Structure 1
């Protein structure tokens, strides 16, 4: 692997191929600074890349193992120190945002995050690694240090859970009958 030999182009390629998925994973799992944490993940990956052996799939698992451990570290640190938020004008509750801004915030990511928040932590980890990180069941098992069967069971339970929650929130469409006309 060229990156193991120190080729800058290879490191750039690794970053371009993997950083967006890592940042999305970290964001979905609640990192306060997903871009900063993504940078930390790749600093650790590049520090340890000389010791890596395996194919592309194994490398992807390696990258997400590092990302998962960094995320756990961040979450532990936050739980010990408590939550702090830096003031920004955009997040000031006294600021009047446009209806378009509010609608955008409410519809997209918020709904997905709310659904994921209702899952158990293990189910949430499996779903985010499978969907956002696009890892195989075997790779997720490796990242989470679980058996493949356990990951499959967690995924199945998470999907059933999400299916029930989505079905409960659906509004039935009324269909006009012939007698209504």
Structure 2
């Protein structure tokens, strides 16, 4: 058994020290992953905390991951982020006119580009999205991404290649509208 598997087994038995160690190991990585998807610090903090709350609840019910903890955490984060975006779409916090009136022209362009990239990321599979954000947002090496997701380096390379191709296709019209952005 690896160190990670031993730690996960201890956490599944609700060992508080093991839960604290899991939180310490994964919080920062998950936080930046979620932040890259939602773009707001407070929302990212709340959603990341919710991932760990759901992990603890799963362990209390005798469920949760038995292996590949990182994959479970990132998949849970994906679901929470999707719920967050759906809720914001249904109940916008600020009127669009107010937000745009306050922004300068170049900021508007940046916002449009960021939103289009965020939308394009939503069209990827959860594994592809995780690889792209871990690789390019968090600047993690392929070997570490493979370990975190419980996949081979070759599988991660393939996910990255397919994700980049899908993003290029999704963003093709954005390039023509905004130059080489």
TM-score (norm 1): 0.56
- Of Structure 1 and Structure 2, which has the larger fraction of its residues in helix? 2
Deviations 1:19-53 (A, max 9, x none): 11111111111254100111111100111133235
SS in 2 for 1:28: helix
Runs of 4+ in 1 over 6 A off after TM superposition: none
Q: How does 1:51-90 map to 2 (within 5 A)?
A: 51-55=63-67, 58-80=68-90, 82-84=91-93
Distance 1:23 1:65, change over 3 A: same
Q: Which deviates more, 68-77 or 22-31?
A: 22-31
Deviations 1:144-173 (A, max 9, x none): xxxx9x9566324047569x85xx639xxx
In terms of Rg, which structure is larger?
A: 1
Distance 1:116 1:136, change over 3 A: farther
Decide whether the 8 Å contact of 2:33 with 2:134 is kept in 1: yes
For 2:147 and 2:165, how far apart are their aligned partners in 1? 14
- Alignment partner of 2:11 out of 3, 24, 29: 3
Are residue 17 (structure 1) and residue 28 (structure 2) matched?
A: no
Residue in 2 that maps onto 1:36: 46
Shift of 1:18: 0.9
SS in 1 for 2:74: helix
Deviations 1:80-124 (A, max 9, x none): 1x3215xxxxxxx69xxxxxxxxxxx8xx98x9468347353249
Report the aligned-residue RMSD.
4.1
Shift of 1:74: 1.1
Distance 1:4 1:54, change over 3 A: closer
Shift of 1:69: 1.0
Decide whether the 8 Å contact of 2:71 with 2:150 is kept in 1: yes
SS in 1 for 2:120: coil
Decide whether the 8 Å contact of 1:28 with 1:113 is kept in 2: no
For 2:148 and 2:23, how far apart are their aligned partners in 1? 23
For 2:119 and 2:82, how far apart are their aligned partners in 1? 19
